Chain A
Amino acid sequence: MPLNDLQQQFCAWLREPDEDRARVLAEALNVGPALVVYQNNYRVSLVEALRETHARVAAWLGEAAFDAAAAHQIDAHPPSSWTIDAYGTQFPEVLRSLWPDDAEIADLAMIDRAVGDAFVARDAVPIDPAALATVDWDRAVIRMVPSLRLVTITSNADALWLALASGEPAPACETGAEPATLPATLPATLPATLMVWRQGFEPVMRRADATEQLMLRRSIAGAGFAQICDEIAAECDAQAAITRAGTVLGRWLGEGLVAGLD
């Protein structure tokens, strides 16, 4: 049998295990019952990869429910990346389909992924605030650090995630417009945009307020700081817009979120 045909048949069986297909495959390839060792290796390694990436989801769901969800994921979405660490980007959607009334589960999965990605993201040295003195503000574009991930959540999964990570009692799940479990300093409206990035070696997260959301979205799209200020000014006067944008930028600089002003 040509190599490509053999490998295609073998992979098709790995993706869709079935005893009859296994028997046919074993006969076609003239191999013994140990064929199933590879089926077991395949599924176990993917479940382990999902469990490592989604430790908070696993803790929240419990082992049996997590394994069942992982099985759904593996059946629906075979891996394709060269690295197993990238496996499971569709897992939040799988969880949403399995638990449509429990938004915190898919939200936790998105946060798990964002935190994992931030942990290993390429290094970047945050810009030194002293460098602002030479910036041409009419042309400057804010470049965020490469570890930054934005996650849209529709529950208080951020508070839940932090509680699970620290071993503290988990707060009650809330998917309403004003969850009560968040500190008063955080934007409480849902859905919320969660910023996840890395400070030093440690991932951190917090919710973005409305001005930040606009500035993030437009900066990532390549809009200049002056242009963003003009857009904010549509909601207030020009000086107030500059003040609001400057306040946000100052906060970002302090939090190590800005890699450059290009």
Chain B
Amino acid sequence: MRRPHYASFVAGEAPVDFFEVISENFMGVGGRPIDTLMRARAHYPLALHGVSLSVGSADGPDKQYLTLLKDLIDRVEPAIVSDHLCWTGVGGFNSHDLLPVPLTDEALDTVCRAIDIAQEHLGRRMLFENPSTYIAFPGTMPEWEFLHAMARRTGCGLLLDVNNVFVSATNHGLDPQAWLDGLPLDAVGQIHLAGHSTGEHGLIDTHDAPVDPAVWALYAQTIARTGPVATMIERDGNLPDLDVLTAELDGARILAGASELAA
């Protein structure tokens, strides 16, 4: 849910089955933002999507952050709570970017420990999104194996970003299909779709364009194997009218069948 579309969601007129917001925008706040969220929540189930849990940081999770997130969860009762397989900073520094996790045993231990802490604090299962990456630190396993082990050890689910699979695989010279085949699809609890752009150093996950046809093709293969999964199209830049986005969403509905939830 983006600001120009708030009125449609608050009125319950947006033709979606659920909506998603960035958790941090509503943590520890009052005033119009939380009022808008609650009024939209009265009409639709909600997915809280975080960007700051930083499960890959050597620092471990921020307890104040978890407390504020728990407060928000208790208030809005979301259907889904998610964040990213990433780290955002270390040693008190926060880059506010989703930085790539080295795919090593040490990092896997760190990530699993953080997810265990978070899920215990929040009292619920979380989903973690596979990131778009532009570099790959030296590692001992591919990302899909890392995600497999992460889900198995912590019981968390996967927020499968199909565009991120395409962007990361392309940037690292790998086959997106093979990447997808390796993922723990039985752990997928939500799917993201988005557009990307081409930069000097490869594909960039910009969320400022319609979903690429190649990503739609990957999505079709994914949904055929997972069955209906709540699917959302992310759009941050060049934001069109809501009816343009919901028309794009109809593409996901057609691929997934009428029983799928989509937002």
Contacts and interface: CB of A to CB of B under 8 A. Distances in A.
Given A3-B58, A7-B87, A34-B171, A42 B201 contact: no
Nearest to A124: B30
Given A8-B90, A30-B137, 8 more contacts: A2-B106, A6-B102, A29-B137, A34-B201, A38-B97, A82-B62, A84-B96, A122-B28
Interface in B171-195: 171
B31 A80 contact: no
A198 to B, nearest CB: 6
5 contacts: A7-B91, A29-B137, A31-B136, A37-B204, A38-B99
A60 interface: no
Max count, chain A CB within 10 A of own CB: residue among B27, B34, B93, B106: B93
Interface of A: 1-4, 6-8, 10-11, 14-15, 29-38, 41-42, 45-46, 49, 78-85, 87, 119-124, 146-147, 198, 201
Nearest to A79: B94
B35 A201 contact: yes
B201 to A, nearest CB: 4
Contacts of B34: 123
A3 B110 contact: yes
Interface string B99-110: 100101011001
Interface residues of B, number: 43
A4 B27 CA distance: 28
- Closest 7 interchain pairs by CB? A123-B30, A34-B201, A31-B135, A4-B58, A7-B90, A120-B29, A34-B134
Secondary structure at the B interface, as helix, strand, loop or mixed, is loop
B90 A83 contact: no
A146 B30 CA distance: 10
A198 B31 contact: yes
Contact of B32 (A2, A3, A201): A201
A80 B94 contact: yes
B208 interface: no
Given A32-B135, A35-B135, A82-B24, A11 B31 contact: no
Max count, chain A CB within 10 A of own CB: residue among B52, B90, B110: B90
Contacts of B95: 11, 14, 38, 42, 79
Interface string B153-180: 0000000000000000001000000000
Contacts of A82: 24, 52, 62, 64-65, 94
Contact of B30 (A11, A32, A122): A122
B107 A3 contact: yes
A32 B99 CA distance: 15
A78 B89 CA distance: 11
Interface string B14-55: 000000000011011111111100000000000000001000
A38 B96 CA distance: 10
B223 to A, nearest CB: 30
Interface in B103-146: 104, 106-107, 110, 134-138
A124 B31 CA distance: 9
Contacts of A10: 99
Given A3-B58, A33-B201, A38 B94 contact: no
Given A6-B102, A79-B93, A198-B31, A38 B134 contact: yes
A183 to B, nearest CB: 27
Contacts of A38: 95, 97, 99, 134-135
A83 B97 CA distance: 11
B96 A120 contact: no
B90 A31 contact: no
Nearest to B91: A8
A3 B56 CA distance: 9
B92 interface: yes
B96 A45 contact: yes
Contact of B27 (A32, A33, A83): A83
